[in-house]
Structure 1
Amino acid sequence: MRKKLFPQLWMYFVAITFLLMVVVLSVFVCLLFIVNHFKLLAPERENHLFPFYFIIFLSLVIGAVLSIFVGKRILQPIGNLRQAMNKVAKGDFTLQLGEEQQVEDVAELYHDFNVMVNELNSIETLRNDFVSTVSHEFKTPLATIKGYVQLLQNNSLAEEERQSYLERMLEGTQQLTHLTDNILKLSKLENQGIGLDFQSFRLDEQIREVILFLQPKWEQLDLTLDLTLPRTNYYGNEEFLYQVWLNLMDNAIKYSQKNSSIRVQLINETQGQLIIISDEGIGMTEKVADRIFDKFYQSDTSRKTSGNGLGLALAKQIIELHHGTIKVNSIPGQGSSFKLFLPNDLENS
């Protein structure tokens, strides 16, 4: 059964049209009665056409008043909606219409319009975040793969080393394959609230894989790695958490001084897992540390080409989706220490 569109608008239009006809008819009947009773249109009377002109003038006034009323109640809201839709068509997704309208159907129409604009804004944000995040997150795996390709050009490599490098390159390409889907899911989580898929995996082995994957970078700086990674099974999203360790370790290497050290600790606590990643790099001020997890925030403009300020924001969001926390302690010139806590009870939550 076809649903009636805007019933109240039709009621207003019909009622106003009917009222217009009744009022005009009543005025004409009254005027004709007066004219006939007093014989005002008799040719022998002076100004005998005045009542006729008066009837025309009165009809025009009544029609104008009712037209203005119809315009303000029905036509003007539709005109406002048309103008708003033109702005949305040009890319303005922040526009909102006031929903406090006297006609209920107009209020519902404005409400549906606002919902539509919010959805379009969410989709636009999703698209922008996806493009920006992909451009940032692809750089680390691509740089690592490039490093192994350069190592493979050494003809003196042993076959065992060559196979090892090829396997790590394969892992990097697989990581790139999964990365696009993961970032898209993460953006949807932020904008639409879709849930994560959790499973049990070896957390210590995952962190080792990331460190091994970044080996060309930390070997180039002659960094010393101090690892404390006891066997740890964890229930969470394996693919997303991989991005956390990749971002944090990549930052620790990037901002470290040559011949310095990086310390990675995995501590099994009663309520969850504590992960600490510390470096001896350039550090940051308290002001920078307060904003380091904000999207697109970059404190060091000289390093702008190495990222767009999304890595740590992405890491924080993933940790929070695991109901965990991430904090940073840093001293300029001495290094930074990132502390993450992941609770153990996700399987029952």
Structure 2
Amino acid sequence: MTEFAIAATGLRKSYGDKTVLDGVDLAVPEGTIFSLLGPNGAGKTTAVKILSTLISPGAGSGPIRVGGHDLAKDPQAVRAAIGVTGQFSAVDGLITGEENMLLMADLHHLSKAEGRRVTAELLERFDLADAAKKPASTYSGGMKRRLDIAMTLVGDPRIIFLDEPTTGLDPRSRHNMWGIIRELVTGGVTVFLTTQYLEEADQLADRIAVLHDGKIAAEGTAEELKRIVPGGHVRLRFTDPATYRSAAAALGEAALPQALGSARAGGTPTDEALVLQQPSDGSQRALRELLDRLHAAGVEADELTVHTPDLDDVFFALTGAAALPNQSAPSAPSTEVVR
């Protein structure tokens, strides 16, 4: 039976007449990356603050367990099991990276010797050993975020809350941070990640929950979420006009011709004109059925491309007019080409 690192039922929180969380259920298996995705103001940070004991849950919330401990009855045990890296750096720029680490070791009541051992180990692990004696104010944004996470790991937490950890980082630093997060999970740590970057959730998360209007609008793997949005299709390209016509007849009205207006002088269609689109969810079963229909008609496409909706499409479908989260770069729909 799967053990849950985090389990919350009916999580609620209001500020005055504004409801931020309205009955949110969360279940995060141990040793996984769980991403809470949503627009600004959706309640992501509020959820992190409640689960990490920084603020109290609202009236009417159900039971909450973090690291196997009841949050209401034993918050101190919860704090001992977790680490938190917030949206804004906790690094003190006036002291060195090493001194920041040693200060965190003191807060965790480590002995001097143990504190220095853990500090040296983590600075090496996060590629900060060469800068250890330099003031943290001289660090780049990526270095400060790495130091943030290294400081979070001083207490050897088994659950880490990362609240928008790559906000403001350049693409290279963001990808480096992704590698660090993956390594943490490989070591058995559970990561609860909030992010505004759709690509980040897609790349990292084992499961994703989309938060909208204080509720979970949908939850699943990235692939499961993409399948709930219509618009997936298979693009078939042909070089022979006769084969193209045979495929169109075999697939019927569901196959949409694409770019039929393209033609050479004299009315002969170009290669780009010999394209059909067939609605599909991109699953193996759907592709097999499509290929079986073509095979029965004695038809073979020269190129087959699978197009599936991406998390942008999912986000728009689930949150309506809500602002799209930030993107490090425009993301193209997921495609796979078979020739």
Same fold, TM exceeding 0.5? no
Larger Cα-atom Rg: 1
TM-score calculated relative to the size of structure 1: 0.21
The structure with more strand, counted as a fraction of residues? 2
The structure with more helix, counted as a fraction of residues? 1
Task: Using CA pairs under 8 Å that are at least 6 residues apart, name the structure with larger relative contact order, 1 or 2.
Answer: 2
